[in-house]
Amino acid sequence: MRRTVLKSLAAMIAGAFLSLPAAHAQNKPVEVEFYYPVAVGGPITKIIDNMVSDFEKENAGIRIKPVYAGSYQDSIAKALTALKGGNPPQLAVLLSTDMFTLIDEDAIVPVDGLAKDEAGKQWLGGFYDAFMQNSRTGGHVWGVPFQRSTIVMYYNKTLFKEAGLDPEHPPATWQELVDFSKKLTKKDASGNVTQWGLEIPSGGSFAYWLFQALTTPNDAILMNEAGNQVMLDKPAVVEAAQFWRDLAAKHGVMPTGTIDWGTTPKDFLEKKAAIIWTTTGNLTNIRANASFPFGVAMMPKHKRGGSPTGGGNFYIFKSATPAQQEAALKFARWATSPERAAEWSIATGYVAVTPAAWQTDKMKKYAQEVPAAAVARDQLDVSVAEFSTHENQRVTKVLNDALQAALTGAKTPQQALTDAQRESDRILRSYK
């Protein structure tokens, strides 16, 4: 009898020890590697670290590991390199325009396939439609709007006053943009420009985006929703490129050649440019550093108003385990909840991505204190999808190169865009 009891006890102890690893495994938190493009200005890493910390306090079973991957271009390159090496992240914030590239690489899963319950459908239906235009294709939602923006016009109210212009009346049309910029351009006794009326950045990888702030008001759309066709040589597109070129070459209100994206806000803060076009994502930076009163306005109209949207989406990677995908989805839902979206917008200057976020007390207060923040939100009513296609980086480079050729005078706008259309058609042929 005693021997039987001892044997039973031994078996129980052995069973308990055997079950320990399984229990331990069940309690092990789900780890999610999260690629984030840190090169978007401001103390972003601290904000993201704090967000992750707050999320983990509320979700003890999940560990989010941010990897600060450099610029947007660096981040997509690193994500795809890691994918080919068999070790991709489970979650990433990448450009909304990277959607087709990520689909073509079979890197991501449709978010609507994970958020299938009623609450998930309501969540995905709660974003501004202008932001969803770069988040869906083929009947699926592939990206979740997070740090999104439009292009807006910043102008120095003091310089407006000095030029005899009403500081509460920014240029509302293309003609006013030219007329005001002429009054705001200053030269020294030798004829050298000391203050430009206007700067629209055109260097680097964002020329196509600023170009859409000219093509959209000229009632031209550059690509179809399927991402397999571009319309770069249409008369309204060529007319927009000609106007951009004329601002420097004919009207003399802007530097000739290309203008660097990164130095544009700096030139504004140093009063070297009275008006600049740049992302709403620069609002917090300009608010913190401007030594003068400034205004923010929508894109000047020609045939209509409008701007492209811009910025980054959350993407969930296909190679993640179901538990990791669920954890990544939970973080994306948490980060885009009304309170969090409001906090993110206030901290960074990006547009809060849902109408519900603008209804929170903190966002209402912020919009009252900083009316400039509401300009981009109101512009969403007339905003269009950012330029995005299959083979996106190749096609975008073709357009950027064409714009730079037009702006430097290496080609006429007509020739540059005719060449760009032909080359883009060749690249996209297999997707039709």
DSSP state of 113: G
Condensed to tens digits (0 to 9), the pLDDT of residues 75-119 reads 999 999 999 999 999 999 999 999 999 999 999 999 999 999 999
What is the average per-residue pLDDT within 108-133? Answer: 97
Looking at every residue in the chain, the average pLDDT score rounds to: 92
Condensed to tens digits (0 to 9), the pLDDT of residues 333-351 reads 999 999 999 999 998 889 9
* Euclidean distance between CA atoms 297 and 69, whole angstroms: 32
For residues 161 and 43, state if they share a domain: no
pLDDT confidence tier of residue 43, bands split at 50, 70 and 90: confident
For residues 167 and 255, state if they share a domain: yes
Range of the structural domain that residue 176 is part of: 151-309+388-428
Indicate whether 3 belongs to any domain: no
Whether 271 shows a pLDDT value over 90: the answer reads yes
Into how many domains does the chain fold? 2
Indicate whether 189 belongs to any domain: yes
For residues 421 and 272, state if they share a domain: yes
Give the chain's end-to-end CA distance (angstroms, integer): 81
pLDDT confidence tier of residue 54, bands split at 50, 70 and 90: very high
Which residue, among 134, 69, 128, 132, has the nearest Cα to 100 in the 3D structure? 134
What is the average per-residue pLDDT within 231-243? Answer: 98
> What is the H or E stretch that residue 36 is in?
strand 30-36
Indicate whether 23 belongs to any domain: no
The reported pLDDT for the residue numbered 39 is: 58
pLDDT confidence tier of residue 26, bands split at 50, 70 and 90: low
- 268 vs 15, higher pLDDT: 268
Condensed to tens digits (0 to 9), the pLDDT of residues 287-321 reads 999 999 999 999 999 999 999 999 999 999 999 99
pLDDT above 70 covers a percentage of the chain that reads 93
* Euclidean distance between CA atoms 103 and 391, whole angstroms: 11
Q: Which two tokens stand for residue 276?
A: 């600049």
Residue 235, helix vs strand vs coil: helix
For residues 392 and 417, state if they share a domain: yes
The reported pLDDT for the residue numbered 294 is: 97
149 in Cβ contact with 281 (< 8 Å): yes
For residues 266 and 394, state if they share a domain: yes
* Euclidean distance between CA atoms 134 and 20, whole angstroms: 48
pLDDT confidence tier of residue 13, bands split at 50, 70 and 90: very low
Condensed to tens digits (0 to 9), the pLDDT of residues 363-399 reads 999 999 999 999 999 999 999 999 999 999 999 999 9
Residue 77, helix vs strand vs coil: helix
What is the average per-residue pLDDT within 402-431? Answer: 98
Whether 15 shows a pLDDT value over 50: the answer reads no
Which residue, among 283, 245, 278, 244, has the nearest Cα to 262 in the 3D structure? 278
Q: Could you tell me the sign of the dihedral formed by the alpha carbons of 230, 236, 242, 245, in that order?
A: negative
Provide the phi-psi class of 137: left if phi over 0, else alpha when psi is between -120 and 50, else beta: beta
Which residue, among 298, 183, 177, has the nearest Cα to 243 in the 3D structure? 177
For residues 198 and 287, state if they share a domain: yes
Indicate whether 17 belongs to any domain: no
Q: Which two tokens stand for residue 88?
A: 């991709």
Condensed to tens digits (0 to 9), the pLDDT of residues 189-204 reads 999 999 999 999 998 7
DSSP state of 293: -
pLDDT above 90 covers a percentage of the chain that reads 86
Partners of 34 in the β-ladder:
66, 91
Q: What is the CATH number of the domain that holds 101?
A: 3.40.190.10
* Euclidean distance between CA atoms 229 and 214, whole angstroms: 20
